[in-house]
Structure 1
Amino acid sequence: MSQEQKMYEMIGGEPVLRKVCQRFYEIMATLPEAKGILEMHPENLRGSEEKLFMFLSGWLGGPNLFQERFGHPRLRARHLPFSIGKSERDQWMLCMVMAFEDVGIQEPIRSELLHSLLNLADHMRNKPEA
């Protein structure tokens, strides 16, 4: 079993991952500090929540739900229509850190996943900044 497959299982599989994604969007919808990224989303966040769940499922080594439904994630290309800089990256990460905390993702998985997610979020940056 690969490390990625273990990670999906170690986090708790589908039920826990669904809770993380649900909590992530609840936080984004209510946290004033996340207003910038909330405005990039449709009013109804349910579709975005489901896409995040589907993507993270495959990314963590579980079922490749996103790829099966939409094809290769091409994350950077899919995010190009949005102006994403350090602030947006940090807002996204704040919501994810808080979701991990609220759902109870434990160390050492917590730090490892958050570090990988930070790298991923940083890769989405497309706004020139000084």
Structure 2
Amino acid sequence: MTTFYDEIGGYETIRRIVARFYEGVATDDLLREMYPEEDLGPAEERFRMFLVQYWGGPTTYSEQRGHPRLRMRHAPYAVTPTAKQHWLRHFRAALDDVGLSPEQDAQFWDYILHAAQFMVNSPDEGGVVLP
């Protein structure tokens, strides 16, 4: 059975997306605050393993880290609607860089939009979090 992971080019495509995404994060003052490690490498590796597994590749993420529990793992950080928009901007640039087919891009982007909204756990200053 061919997975979405296989269809988009497997590990190399996910590696390129995540590397480009973290290039943006590294220069984004708002998002960079959410990464306490001096080196973004470990976060990049975790995200890469997660996306590889999510899209049908090797299950290394779960083998090393257990269930993703994304909201729990991100709970210590104030993920605001503004932070979500910054995150999405960098991810959009990463997807644009790899040049997936329109159908593949739409499928990947749809997941990313939903995941980003799911992670919002705090309002912007003085605001409220809406679904």
With the length of structure 2 as denominator, give the TM-score of the two structures.
0.88
Match of 1:48 among 43, 52, 59: 43
Match of 2:14 among 12, 17, 41: 17
Aligned residues: 124
Q: Tell me the distance in 2 between the aligned counterparts of 1:48 and 1:85.
A: 19
Q: Tell me the distance in 2 between the aligned counterparts of 1:43 and 1:93.
A: 22
Which contiguous aligned blocks of 4+ residues in structure 1 show a shift greater than 6 angstroms?
none
Residue 105 of structure 1 and its aligned partner are, at CA, apart by 2.3
Counterpart of 2:29 in structure 1 is 35
Gaps of 5+ in 2: none
Tell me the alpha carbon deviations over residues 42-90 of structure 1, each in whole angstroms, 9 at most, x when there is no partner. Answer: 2211001100000001111111111010100100000000001111111
Counterpart of 2:74 in structure 1 is 79
Residue 115 of structure 1 and its aligned partner are, at CA, apart by 1.1
Which of the pair is proportionally richer in helix?
A: 1
Match of 2:116 among 85, 109, 121: 121
Match of 2:4 among 4, 7, 10: 7
Residue 23 of structure 1 and its aligned partner are, at CA, apart by 1.0
Q: Tell me the distance in 2 between the aligned counterparts of 1:56 and 1:85.
A: 22
Q: Which amino acid aligns with 1:107?
A: P
Match of 2:87 among 81, 89, 92: 92
Identity %, equivalent residues: 35
